[in-house]
Structure 1
């Protein structure tokens, strides 16, 4: 006779969801391999988004476009199944962004002018806990802030390049026009301002102003990440202060004794 406290056996669907949760959020060797593979696939998809303007006229473009859409549908579906609260996940900015990117993949003819926003997938990737969980398990975890700053700058550069190419250089087309758009973006963001490539009209000037202001801000953040004294990320049990000196014994905010793990141990 079964015990009254015994739970019914899980269905195959629930077992499958549990397995996905272990793969997405676990720390086992199999989970880490799965997370590494998904990160590599994400980077390949982002690389496709970056070169999309150069591939748009190719005969195989739509095949690649829809193939990437299928991969994203599978990945988004797996994330939803692995989540314990699907509605909350659907409301997150990164998920909303991924759904928008997916719509541009499924309807490339109608949303062509918004294709440059696909590069924001790099920002979405930089906010996935999976990526930073892997980062923190290595000896390079003190470079996390630098990598975050670099990913923000790279996202901004390629989004602006896509925007400039779409609305100012697309009629010329080709690799040279895309490189011109990238060259203008980098020259403007760094405030070098050679002036050999400029955007026409009031819209071009306003675009240049926005790019310079946001670009300077991102470069300041990168400089802070590079030259700020190295700190260890470890939440204080008492006051939750995150950043401490590598050899700190006591929290400088509340004086609570810390037990920061030693990487050399």
Structure 2
């Protein structure tokens, strides 16, 4: 059998790429002890990066800011590349909202001066993290799977809080205000979201009023969502094989929508 000289090298490269993708898939999506430790480490790094994103409106302008910014860009680029290789369908993965958000955040990190006014959107990384299994697998493993809806709603609220704070600081308080201006922006966001309305800090002009209206409406909605997640009866996530209903009572034996027999595993299984 005649085999061209380059065939063996190509096959080795394909096999090596396949092994790499399989290894990354087991690390990012696996349930073994090693995979969970890796996911926990990535989650801790993510939270530290998000803390930097929250503080970046105040830190911008310091000598070390660009160095930290580009270092985080390198970490995020490596993480995005690894997640893409771990995906079974890369084009489909790239179309997911979380992937689009991460790529946009990477763009703001690579062009921090050009996209300085959009830097507050980096906090959306917290929303992206809340949509991945990195947060939920350790919670389920440690017996806190029932808190998923509460944690999810709380993270949505926190993400909105700091995105809006960054927006207000960037466009209304930024010039010469420093950390005090950021605290004012945070204070105004909280009083608007809770509709407290002390009136000691106001956003000027028509755009300030419209911004306040959006904050109040969205803030109330997120608070209601969080309250619902805390106080409504606990449901387990188990899709019905017949109708696809996702949430059921923990002791349900039949789907309440179609009556199909269910075999919901125990939480400790």
Instruction: Identify the TM-score tier after normalising by the shorter chain.
Output: over 0.9
1:14 equivalent to 2:18? Answer: yes
The residue aligned with 1:103 is 107
The residue aligned with 2:257 is 253
Question: Pairwise mapping of residues 79-158 of structure 1 onto structure 2 (< 5 A)?
Answer: 79-158=83-162
Deviation at 1:247, TM superposition (A): 2.2
Q: Equivalents in 2 of 1:131, 1:43: separation in Å?
A: 11
Q: Equivalents in 1 of 2:88, 2:252: separation in Å?
A: 37
Q: Equivalents in 2 of 1:33, 1:264: separation in Å?
A: 20
1:115-155 deviations in Å (ceiling 9; x for gaps): 00111111111111332233333321111111111011001
TM-score normalised by structure 2 residue count: 0.91
The residue aligned with 1:4 is none
Q: 1:220 aligns with which of 206, 210, 224?
A: 224
Q: Equivalents in 1 of 2:17, 2:71: separation in Å?
A: 26
Q: Equivalents in 2 of 1:88, 1:177: separation in Å?
A: 42
**Structure 1 stretches of 5 or more lacking a match?**
1-6
The residue aligned with 1:201 is 205
Q: 1:163 aligns with which of 161, 164, 167?
A: 167
Q: Equivalents in 1 of 2:254, 2:95: separation in Å?
A: 39
1:177 equivalent to 2:181? Answer: yes
TM-score normalised by structure 1 residue count: 0.92
Change (3 A) 1:264 1:41: closer
**Structure 2 stretches of 5 or more lacking a match?**
1-10
Q: 1:210 aligns with which of 211, 214, 218?
A: 214
Q: Equivalents in 2 of 1:20, 1:220: separation in Å?
A: 39
Matched length? 259
Deviation at 1:27, TM superposition (A): 1.0
1:75 equivalent to 2:79? Answer: yes
